[in-house]
Every structure is written in structure tokens, then in C-alpha cells.
Amino acid sequence: MKRIVITFLFLLTACLVVFSYTIWQNNRPVQNIPQNEIKSSLHKSIEWLVKNKTNILQSTNSILWWMINESALLTKDERLLDLSDEYQLIMKTQYVNSVWNHLFDNNCNVSVDPLRIAALPDYNKLFLFGLTCDEELSNLETIETQKHPNFCWKSHPISPACVTHQLMGFRFMQRRNCQNDQGLNYKIEILQKYILWQLFFDFRVVDVYLQRVLMLADSGLKNKIKPIWLRKIIDAQLSDGGWGNFHGLIPVGKSKFFGFTANGVSVKQPKSNFHTTAQGVFLMSLMQNRP
């Protein structure tokens, strides 16, 4: 029994040491990232988009294309402007009745009738409410519950992206000047604090890590983004210029690693994808335009 207790205490101490070290590594002080490095990262990520244009134009995730469009407006980069124009042309010609046209047109009149969007995830409904300020949507229970800053802890406590999705919805409400919700700025501040807490403890540089830093930058809290977080994101950028949703730790063979995925651990080859790269492009576009 004594040996079992000693072994248990040893393992517990070792786990605490490793955990403490990873937290320190994730928050340690480093120098600010030079603007030329941010610009270089942005350039490489845009090149990835251009090289993969045929594939990414088939993506139906309009939120990612909204990020590309916002990046184009921020940077005035012709490559991003051309990509955004191509996607918006597809939306106007092939998906003229899509509710996601509201992302690109403030005067869009496509219906967001609750029955029509009933099958969408709850956070997508919040996005659409934020984009339209629609009174009928405002009265839906699924929208009303998401207006509370403690929504994620009550309804999706283990969903890593819930808080960032909720903040995106609030930011759409802010952008479109929705008058349906009181105390919106205060609620945004609460979600920002939640994200800072998540970034402090969750050191895995996967998709949601970029999303958290992105939402801090987008919601006006660039001054709270630790240089180490931005450093880790730039270091995680793959050689082809994109970002993936895998944090490799230990090499296993020639091109595979043991590491963290969004939902656990795995052995796989790091690979860029549009979902993570679009957020990286938007983040670097925001950080390039610091004020």
C-alpha cells in the first residue's frame, strides 16, 4: 500500500510539473512580433488561397468567405479582392436565395423565416439574427438563450468553439447596429474575458486557438493578445503557407506526428485546410492593421 501511495504521488507530481510547464510555455513573455513577419505570414497564407482557388471556391461555408472579404477590405490586396469577387458572383448566380447573402449585402431581402432555418445549428441562427436584426428571429427561444453571456457554460460546456461563435454573433449584431439587445458591449466584454481564460490554459494550436485570438483582435482587444500566442500561430503555419487543425508534438516516421487534434490526440500528417487558413488570413490582416 505504501508503494502504491508513493507511486501515485510521484505520478501526480509529474503530471502537475508537466501541466505547469505547458501553461508557462503558452504564456511566457516573448518579444512583440515584427510587422514584417506578420506581413510575410499574411502573404504566404494568401498565396495558399490562390494556389488552392479551385478547391476552396467549392466550399459552401460562407462565413469563411466573409472573413476573406473582410481581409480584402482591410488589406486592399488584389488577390483577396479577386477571390472574394469570384465567390460573391457564385452566390449571386447559383445561390441567389441563400440566407448567407446577408453576409455580403446589408440590403439583402432574402427571407430568414424561422421555419426555413430551423435545421441550422443554434450559432448559425444567432449569426443570421445579428446580420438582419429580424424581430421574428429575436423572439425565438434559441436566440433569446444565446443572448446571455453564460449560454455556453449552461448549454455547451465542453464545446471549445461555443464562446467564439457566440462572440461572432454579437459582433454581427454590433456591426449591423441591432437594437434588439440591451447591454451588448458589456456582454462582449464578458465573452472576451472567457476567451482570455481559454487561451491561458488551452495550449493546443489547433483551429479554435486561431479562432480565439482572431475574435479578440476582431472585437477590439488586440492589446490583450500576448505575443507568445501570435508567435505560436505563426510558427504553426505550414510550409505551403496554410494552417491546419492539428498540433503535432512528436515525429512518428517521415511525415507524421503524434499530437493534438481539435477533439483529442492522433497520429497524422499536418495538412493545411481552408477553415483554419481563412481565419489565419483574417487574423493577420487585422494584426497588420493594428490601430
Task: For 36-68, write each residue's pLDDT tens digit.
Answer: 999 999 999 999 999 999 999 999 999 999 999
99 located within any domain: yes
290 confidence band (pLDDT: 50, 70, 90): low
216/14 Cα distance (integer angstroms): 33
Q: What is the pLDDT of residue 8?
A: 67
pLDDT score of 91: 96
Mean pLDDT across the chain, nearest whole number? 93
Name the domain count of the chain. 1
Cβ(55)–Cβ(119) below 8 Å = no
The per-residue pLDDT for range 170-190, each reduced to its tens digit, is 999 999 998 766 799 999 999
Task: Decide if 4 is inside a domain.
Answer: no
Does residue 14 lie in a domain region?
no
232/267: higher pLDDT: 232
CB 156 within 8 A of CB 162: yes
Domain membership of residue 278 as a residue range: 31-288
Compute the average pLDDT of residues 272-285: 98
Which percentage of the chain shows pLDDT scores above 70? 96
Residue 253's pLDDT is what?
A: 78
Q: Give the CA-trace dihedral at 152, 153, 157, 159, to 10 degrees.
A: 30
> Is residue 253, in this structure, part of any structural domain at all?
yes
Q: What is the pLDDT of residue 181?
A: 67
pLDDT tens, 62-89? 999 999 999 999 999 999 999 999 999 9
**Region 237-265 average pLDDT:** 88
Task: Say if 26 falls within a structural domain.
Answer: no
What whole-number distance in Å separates Cα of residue 100 and Cα of residue 190? 28
User: Which three-class secondary structure string do you get for the chain?
Assistant: CHHHHHHHHHHHHHHHHHHHHHHHHHHCCCCCCCHHHHHHHHHHHHHHHHHCHHHHCCCCCHHHHHHHHHHHHHHCCHHHHHHHHHHHHHHHHHCCCCHHHHHCCCCCCCCCCCCCCCCCCHHHHHHHHHHHCCHHHHCCHHHHHHCCCCHHHHHCCCCCCHHHHHHHHHHHHHHCCCCCCCCHHHHHHHHHHHHHHHHHHCCCCCHHHHHHHHHHHHCCCHHHCCHHHHHHHHHHCCCCCCCCCEEEEEEECCCEEEEEECCCEEEECCCCCHHHHHHHHHHHHHHHCCC
Nearest to 25 by CA among 223, 229, 235, 266: 229
Region 248-275: mean pLDDT is 86
Residue 265 lies in a domain: yes
Question: Does residue 113 sit within a domain?
Answer: yes
